[in-house]
Amino acid sequence: MDETKDQYELRKKKIAQLEEKGIESYPASFGPHITVREAAAKEEGVTVRIAGRLMSKRLMGKASFSHIKDYSGRLQVYVRRDNVGEEAFAAFKEMDIGDFMGVEGEIFITKTGEKTVLVKSYVFLAKSLRPLPEKWHGLKDTETRYRKRYLDILVNPQSSDILKARSIVINEMRNRLLQKDFVEVETPILQDIPGGASARPFKTFHNTFGRDLYLRIAPELYLKRLLVGGWDRVFEIGRNFRNEGISTRHNPEFTMLEVYCAYTDYRYMMELSREIIISVQEKLEAGGFKIPIDFSDGWEEKDLWALLTEYTGTGFSPTDSFEDIKKKADKLDVPPGKDSPDKVIDRIFSKYVEENLVKPTFVTGYLSEHSPLAKRSARDGNISERFEIFICGQEVGNAYSEQNDPAVQKAMFESQLAGQGADASEVDTDYIEALEYGMPPASGLGIGIDRIVMLMTGAESIREVILFPMLKPVQKDY
């Protein structure tokens, strides 16, 4: 039989059959109803109206048990010929798994103790033309899970949970900051001078202005302009774009929280970051998530150079010359390459130290020449007032006392530019001018939200915590 060849064709024909019977295959709405979760909480005998997707169907001649799923959960429904009538029951038998329906009926409890809706009437709400992934194994193919995320979150509860955790994380961060009197702002994503970090930007073009623009690599310089304007406590949660490698920890667009607080220095940000992360953990745990790490322990401050010395067994000091560092890198089997000293240090750090920083740790002691936007330490001009947060061997945050001296800032920009060569953009003179009007002393913090969600959910890949991660574009005939 040709008709049975293709499930898709068959289901399309069912739409025509519905229309013949005068049943709309894609009606506009269902009307008042409650969620599946709410319905499941009702007592026996209560009449409920619910709507959702048909996820299973166990048909026994003249009756059928099925499960209906909406965003709040699943509930069993029991459709009996004697309750809905012969015609409606025949139509129900024609429904496919994946179709949407709305039902009205009475709550009862089955022999096996499952709360169920004894359906009195139902309406067809939308047709599904393609068969859903397998009910037991779900959808496993990684590529398909990312490309067709709607199927992944539909049939794989663990995927859905991780991505919902993300929403809780962001909300909790936002709420905490709002409670503390921070103002949430949105600054430009399209920028003509991409600044605030060192990374290669994405380039785009504005037709009316006839000029190149860049997708931001960080919002930092705009947020600090707000400090100049007297907005003393600001934060932004938003997307940054960096035109660099993709890995299990890097997506070209990722979400950052950046916070700035006037009249405080980087020590304030230690407290704030700790508070934010712990409250996020508590919020998730309250929502039933099991967090694999205890974030309440740790939060010790450790010196970069002491850590390097401890874990490599080689003495490191901030006063080491580039030659010294290269020699030590060589001994430690780290290719020094042609990079600047901070990159070599970073590489040694990644290889020997990072994995040991399991408990939340504030790493301090970063060289000021490689932290152009940070203030120098009053005690040691070589060192910046800066820390990075490491948890579970991953860098999740970066903070410093903000450089607000326009002359020093300008000099830092210029020397940084000189060191970059071909890749360099230009000095953001507009930003320097803003500083010249005066910026209060302030501290700033950036937290990578994707990575926090990874830590909180135990996700192995950043792609598990981003709904639609960047994949190579393909032309595929589905």
Exposed e or buried b per residue across 327-353, where buried means at least 16 C-beta atoms within 10 angstroms of its C-beta: ebbeeeebebeeeebbebbbbbbeebb
Per CB under 7 A, the segment of 284-292, 315-323, 342-350, 377-385 that binds RNA is 342-350
In the complex, the smallest distance separating the C-beta of residue 465 from RNA, rounded to whole angstroms, is 11
**Bridge partner residues of 331 (DSSP):** none
Per-residue contact flags (x/-) with RNA for residues 8 to 47, judged by CB under 7 A: --x-------------------------------------
Judged by beta carbon, residue 49 or residue 145, the one nearer RNA is 145
Judged by beta carbon, residue 198 or residue 314, the one nearer RNA is 198
* Euclidean distance between CA atoms 189 and 214, whole angstroms: 8
Contact call for residue 81 and RNA (CB under 7 A): yes
Contact call for residues 77 and 39 (beta carbons, < 8 A): no
In the complex, the smallest distance separating the C-beta of residue 71 from RNA, rounded to whole angstroms, is 20
In the complex, the smallest distance separating the C-beta of residue 477 from RNA, rounded to whole angstroms, is 9
Contact call for residue 231 and RNA (CB under 7 A): no
CA 30 distance to own-chain centroid: 33
Contact call for residue 121 and RNA (CB under 7 A): no
Which residue from 223, 253, 250, 228 is spatially nearest to 240, judged by alpha carbons? Answer: 253
Phi and psi, residue 307, nearest 5°: -65, -45
Amino acid symbol at 44: E
> Could you say which of 24, 184, 186, 244 contacts RNA (CB under 7 A)?
244
In the complex, the smallest distance separating the C-beta of residue 56 from RNA, rounded to whole angstroms, is 5
* Euclidean distance between CA atoms 119 and 107, whole angstroms: 9
DSSP states of 242-254: --S--BTTB-SEE
The DSSP letter of residue 213 is E
Residue 273, classed as helix, strand or coil, is helix
DSSP states of 146-205: HHTHHHHHHH-HHHHHHHHHHHHHHHHHHHHHHHTTPEE----SEESS--SS-SPPPEEE
Judged by beta carbon, residue 110 or residue 158, the one nearer RNA is 110
Per CB under 7 A, the segment of 113-121, 174-182, 225-233, 431-439 that binds RNA is 113-121
> Could you say which of 198, 314, 416, 425 contacts RNA (CB under 7 A)?
198
Contact call for residue 339 and RNA (CB under 7 A): yes
Per CB under 7 A, the segment of 30-38, 137-145, 322-330, 431-439 that binds RNA is 137-145
Instruction: Indicate the helix (H) or strand (E) that contains 144.
Output: helix 142-147
Per CB under 7 A, the segment of 174-182, 183-191, 197-205, 279-287 that binds RNA is 197-205
> Could you say which of 60, 179, 208, 209 contacts RNA (CB under 7 A)?
60
Judged by beta carbon, residue 134 or residue 285, the one nearer RNA is 134
Per CB under 7 A, the segment of 261-269, 337-345, 375-383, 426-434 that binds RNA is 337-345
Which residue from 256, 231, 225 is spatially nearest to 241, judged by alpha carbons? Answer: 256
**Bridge partner residues of 378 (DSSP):** none
CA distances to 215, 372, 424, 427 from 210, rounded to whole Å, are 16, 31, 22, 21
* Euclidean distance between CA atoms 311 and 49, whole angstroms: 63
Phi and psi, residue 476, nearest 5°: -135, 140
In the complex, the smallest distance separating the C-beta of residue 179 from RNA, rounded to whole angstroms, is 27
Contact call for residues 76 and 99 (beta carbons, < 8 A): no
> Could you say which of 69, 180, 267, 347 contacts RNA (CB under 7 A)?
347
> Could you say which of 24, 143, 275, 285 contacts RNA (CB under 7 A)?
143
Contact call for residues 361 and 395 (beta carbons, < 8 A): no
> Could you say which of 141, 275, 294, 414 contacts RNA (CB under 7 A)?
141
Amino acid symbol at 360: P
Contact call for residue 461 and RNA (CB under 7 A): yes
User: Which sign, positive or negative, has the C-alpha torsion 99, 100, 105, 106?
Assistant: positive
> Could you say which of 172, 265, 385, 395 contacts RNA (CB under 7 A)?
395
Contact call for residue 139 and RNA (CB under 7 A): yes
Judged by beta carbon, residue 108 or residue 268, the one nearer RNA is 108
Considering only residues 245 through 274, tell me which ones interact with RNA, judged by CB under 7 A.
Answer: 245, 247-252, 254
Judged by beta carbon, residue 23 or residue 228, the one nearer RNA is 23
Structure tokens at 117: 């809706």
- By CB under 7 A, how many residues form the interface with RNA? 76
Contact call for residue 1 and RNA (CB under 7 A): yes
Per CB under 7 A, the segment of 314-322, 323-331, 347-355, 426-434 that binds RNA is 347-355
Contact call for residue 424 and RNA (CB under 7 A): no
Judged by beta carbon, residue 57 or residue 164, the one nearer RNA is 57
